[in-house]
Chains A and B, each alone.
Chain A
């Protein structure tokens, strides 16, 4: 089954940076180039950042509305900083998203390992459908169902903490974490792990030293998706939250009917800046280690 050639290819990919086949000197023909792809990719990045740039620019707007320019000012940053409700909501969003991403990615990785490769088994389709179920139902429906279910538990136990929100978020993040991990696993071949097993590695060693590193990009993609999806959630949060549990999206939803103030632009820009800083730091650190 294991074609030797495919094995070496995988080894290439795992370690050496031998990516561009076009490295042969003096040859302009690059195998990896596809017509128009570069142009589309650049356009996508520009379009992706245009609204974000607007958001950042308008967070420094002096005018009391979000779209009429009235000169440069930091007043909305001052306002946001002074507004405890906004600050709490932003922190709560981050806290819930971190927990939800960690939990959902862990269980999704396990499930992906259990349900991909090495042949099918009875009930696999059932598991698959179950895992993807949160994707299939519009949020409002899950929200109403969870409202009724959790309310009963809240009344019975008296516990009204953030646990419900974390549980609900973890659940609907599972498919978002699972699908990229599964896609990664499916396109990984078994030869390296077979080789490790042939060399008397224990299953755990094989997993820890071979499978997991190979899966890492998929897991990272899954965790990132889960985090972002959790940060975005409005409706389920709105129905599940107890007193004093507004997240940034539900805080904004409450304002939607009246007016969105530039305060929200300011806090979003600040959060974005923080994220970029953290990610850059993370990069520099991991790079040094590598």
Chain B
């Protein structure tokens, strides 16, 4: 094969790739990314007196992300409130991803192993609760876990506990809520990957006397990795910016980054700081995604 045709094919490939992606790109540039430039700009401006911004350059917002001047003695220190909030968000989001994976993999597997004509039905069963909106679902979860709710009543009825366990308004409640809300985002990509999985590979594994755990670890997980990664990204990233669930189930005592950014755009009246914090969050997520692109690319090479 001559070098010339090869580069010609590469060019055609790139052209097709761009052309096919074009509608999505246009939609996103108009409806999402383009307007974000406004936010980038805002992070370098001064906050307006009551809302919005004053059109004067200032690096103050970026400075405030990491440092703060103590309001009482004027000393300069780390903005440890910001760091605490960031760390809590990352921790809870990672935990949510882990929980949805632990619950989602068996569920996706279970669905994929149903006879083909029934799989779609099971998929719908997974998504049906999500056809009611997020606020309603969150309220329904509150009904289950509150002190006089179904869970505590059942546990007390069974004599397992004699006083209600406080779940509502704790980090546990946030985790339950986020895992519930984001579960289908894990199950659907996992299912899509498992569905393409060649079962004879497992058979081969067993023929070679591998244990079930070994088959799971060495055969299944590596092959469905694109699904795992897609699911994890779909769960991790929205959890990181979650707003409604922490506000309602966490009882608002401890903010996550989404609530904190909202505070800056709302009652805090510091749009530049809110913008700068958003950019930081964007960077964190970009790093996570770059890792994903890397991992996914490695998967291509193996195949």
Tell me, yes or no, whether B79 is within 8 Å of chain A by CB.
no
Interface string of A1-45 (1 = CB under 8 A from B): 000001001000100010111000000010111111111110111
Q: How far is the CA of A123 from the CA of B10 in the complex (A)?
A: 13
Q: Mark A119-141, 1 if CB is under 8 A from B, else 0.
A: 11111110111111111111111
In the assembled complex, how far is the CB of residue B152 from the closest CB belonging to chain A, in whole angstroms?
A: 13
Give the CA-CA distance A167 to B105 in the complex, in Å: 34
Contact A252 B136 (CB under 8 A): yes
Q: Given A146-B35, A221-B188, answer yes or no on A93-B133 (Cβ-Cβ < 8 Å).
A: yes
CB-CB under 8 A from A49, the residues of chain B are 129
| Interface size classification for chain B | 35 or more
- Contacts of B10-33 to chain A: CB distance below 8 A: 10, 13-14, 16-21, 23-25, 27-33
Q: Are B117 and A287 in contact (CB under 8 A)?
A: yes
Q: Complex formed: what's the CA distance from A260 to B197 in Å?
A: 46
Residues of A within 8 A of B104 (CB): 44
Chain B 227-271 interface residues, beta-carbon cutoff 8 Å to A = 227, 230, 233-234, 237-238, 240-241, 243-244, 257-258, 261-262, 265, 271
- A-side binding surface: helix, strand, loop or mixed? helix
- What is the size category of the interface that chain A forms with chain B? 35 or more
Tell whether A183 pairs with B35 under 8 Å between CB atoms, given A111-B21, A114-B17. Answer: no
Contact of B196 among A35, A131, A187, A249 (CB under 8 A): A187
CB distance from B88 to the nearest CB of A (A): 15
When each residue 83-118 of chain A gets 1 if its CB lies under 8 Å from chain B and 0 otherwise, what string results?
000000000010000000001101110110111001
How distant is the Cα of A41 from the Cα of B104 in the complex, in angstroms?
8
- Closest residue of chain B to A52, judged by CB? B129
**B128 interface neighbour in A148, A182, A276, Cβ under 8 Å:** A276
CB-based nearest B residue for A182 = B230
Q: Contact check: which of A41, A283, A290 meets B109 at CB < 8 Å?
A: A41
| Known contacts A34-B216, A264-B136; is-contact A172 B200 (Cβ 8 Å) | no
Interface of B is mostly: helix
B54 CB–A CB distance under 8 Å: no
CB-defined contacts of B241 to chain A, threshold 8 Å: 137-139
Query: Most B CB atoms within 10 A — which of A31, A47, A272, A276?
Result: A31
Best-surrounded residue of A19, A113, A187 (most CB of chain B within 10 A): A187
Whether A268 touches B212, Cβ cut-off 8 Å, given contacts A121-B17, A130-B28, is no
B residues near A, CB below 8 A?
10, 13-14, 16-21, 23-25, 27-36, 38-39, 102-107, 109-111, 113, 115-117, 120-121, 123-137, 139-141, 143-144, 146, 148-150, 180, 183-185, 188-189, 191-193, 195-200, 202-203, 206, 212-213, 216, 220, 223-224, 226-227, 230, 233-234, 237-238, 240-241, 243-244, 257-258, 261-262, 265, 271, 274-275, 278, 281-282, 285-286, 289, 293, 296-297, 299-300
Q: Could you list 25 A-B pairs, sorted by A, with CB under 8 Å?
A: A6-B198, A17-B115, A32-B109, A50-B150, A51-B140, A51-B143, A52-B140, A111-B20, A120-B297, A123-B14, A130-B25, A131-B28, A134-B28, A135-B234, A137-B278, A138-B240, A141-B36, A141-B39, A141-B275, A144-B274, A179-B230, A183-B192, A224-B127, A260-B139, A265-B136
